[in-house]
Amino acid sequence: MTMEVETIARRATTRDWCPEADTRDSIPARRNALAGLWAGRLMRMRDDTLAIYAAEVHASGTMNGSEAIVQKLWYDLNRAGVPISRDAVASKIGELHRDAMGQLSATD
């Protein structure tokens, strides 16, 4: 785990991590946090685990890009027993990107 991921994950474990603070100025960062929350909920994660997972997805996307997020979510979801295609994950990422754009433009 990189230092950035560790820092975000540490804050998430103490419930101090907030997607609003870490994603306020970046559409892809907001999208990745939303994607982590979406996938974590599909995997039925508890709130404390959900925050950690969303922080990991957020940080991973910051370093690795959109295709890496699709691959990570697809792998994690299928490993957790949630059958979903890569295309469905990619489609959801596109939807969340539009949501993130709307959220960030609403705050300006």
Distance CA(55)–CA(4), nearest Å, equals 10
Distance CA 97, CA 27 (A): 7
Residue 88 corresponds to which tokens in the numbers above?
């469905």
Banded pLDDT at 32 (limits 50, 70, 90): very high
10 Å CB burial of residue 95 (0-12, 13-18, 19+) is middle
Give the residue ranges of DSSP H helices in 2-85: 3-13, 19-23, 27-42, 47-64, 66-79
Q: Identify the pLDDT of residue 2.
A: 45
Amino acid 30: pLDDT: 87
The 10s digit of each residue's pLDDT in 61-72 is 767 778 899 999
Quick: pLDDT tens for 38-94.
Answer: 999 999 999 989 999 999 998 887 677 788 999 999 999 999 999 999 999 999 999
